[in-house]
Amino acid sequence: MTTVKDAQKQAESPQPADPDRLRQLAEEAGRALEDASALDVLRWAAETFGPRFCVTSSMEDAVVAHLASRAFPGVHVVFLDTGYHFPETIGTRDAVAAVMDVEVITLTPRQTVAEQDAEHGPRLHDRDPDLCCALRKVRPLEEGLRGYDAWATGLRRIESPSRADTPVVGWDEKRQKVKISPIARWTDADVEAYVAEHGVLTNPLLSDGYASVGCAPCTRRVAAGEDARAGRWAGFNKTECGLHL
Ligand code: SF4
């Protein structure tokens, strides 16, 4: 019988762990860590997966990267550079790399925006955002995560109905990896308190009417009372880029 200890041992090795063992580990840890603090969840991830664990960040803020750097100094922070980011987002990434004890890994799509325009026509994001996200986000992340057994996100349950059931530790069936959302239970006030207490870097656009920051062509400011993600892909029946589906 596979035990948690066996799965942890395999996950700690430099080779990819067996998916069945990782799945069992995710299920057991999901139950055990549901009420744990975000820092304790990340300490568990660091001890369990070591260098086969990374954090992903959209550079909306650096809360999870900051937490992870406390649990695992030098942790890899993976950023998807779609070629469509606001300058403020790239600036936030560069500031995180400069001042935090993390290693920022920037992933890029196979094609530049110009190459994509040549193949699919300009402004694919206006005509087929699902395909654009698949090419510029989903595929690069799948390729970039191949060297890891577990990844952490900044997903929070209150962000949108589609994120309401986000587990703190779960199984990413699509990528066959452990998916960790250490601040899944956090409220907006929890985030603000952590940012204030630790002086965490945040994207300047959050102070300029944007409640959620994604690619520039697909992000607008939100009005008072609107859902935080209402400014993403406005006009489309789309709320997620596919990274978390
Ligand atoms: Fe393309 Fe918009 Fe998706 Fe960015 S968010 S990858 S620009 S469709």
Q: Give tens-digit pLDDT for 187-214.
A: 999 999 999 999 999 999 999 999 889 9
Q: For position 175, what pLDDT does the model report?
A: 93
Q: For position 159, what pLDDT does the model report?
A: 87
Q: For position 4, what pLDDT does the model report?
A: 36
Q: How many other C-beta atoms can be found within 10 angstroms of the C-beta atom of residue 194?
A: 18
Catalytic, 54? Answer: no
Cα-Cα-Cα-Cα dihedral of 86, 89, 91, 93, to 10°? -150
Q: For position 1, what pLDDT does the model report?
A: 31
Q: For position 10, what pLDDT does the model report?
A: 44
Are 151 and 243 a contacting pair, CB within 8 Å? no
Q: For position 6, what pLDDT does the model report?
A: 40
Partners of 171 in the β-ladder = 178
218 is in an annotated binding site: yes
Distance 211 CA to ligand 1 centre (A): 17
DSSP 180: E
- What is the spatial distance between Cα 177 and Cα 18, in angstroms, rounded to a whole number? 10
Q: What is the average per-residue pLDDT within 65-93?
A: 98
Distance 127 CA to ligand 1 centre (A): 11
Name the 3-class secondary structure at 19.
helix
Q: Match 């744990």 to its residue by tokens.
A: 36
Q: For position 238, what pLDDT does the model report?
A: 67
User: Hey, which of 59, 137, 238, 243 would you mutate to test ligand 1's pocket, going by the most ligand atoms within 8 Å of its Cβ?
Assistant: 137
Ligand 1 site, CB within 6 A? 82, 84, 125, 129, 132-133, 136-137, 214-215, 217-218, 241
Q: For position 225, what pLDDT does the model report?
A: 80
Q: How far apart are the first and last CA of the chain?
A: 31
- What is the spatial distance between Cα 60 and Cα 96, in angstroms, rounded to a whole number? 11
Q: What is the average per-residue pLDDT within 228-243?
A: 72
54 is in an annotated binding site: no
Q: For the chain, what is the mean pLDDT?
A: 91
Structure tokens at 20: 């069945």
Each residue's pLDDT tens digit, 9-56: 444 445 778 999 999 999 999 999 999 999 999 999 999 999 999 999
Q: Match 């779960």 to its residue by tokens.
A: 170
Q: Which helix (H) or strand (E) holds 78?
A: strand 75-80
Looking at domain 18-186+193-199, its CATH architecture is: 3-Layer(aba) Sandwich (3.40)
Distance 129 CA to ligand 1 centre (A): 6
Label residue 229 by pLDDT band (50, 70, 90): confident
Cβ-proximal residues to 55 (8 Å cutoff; 6+ apart), any chain: 64, 65, 68, 75, 76, 77, 78, 102, 151, 152, 153
Q: What is the average per-residue pLDDT within 210-221?
A: 92
Each residue's pLDDT tens digit, 129-168: 999 999 999 999 999 999 999 999 999 999 888 899 999 9
Task: At 170, give phi and psi (nearest 5°).
Answer: -140, -175
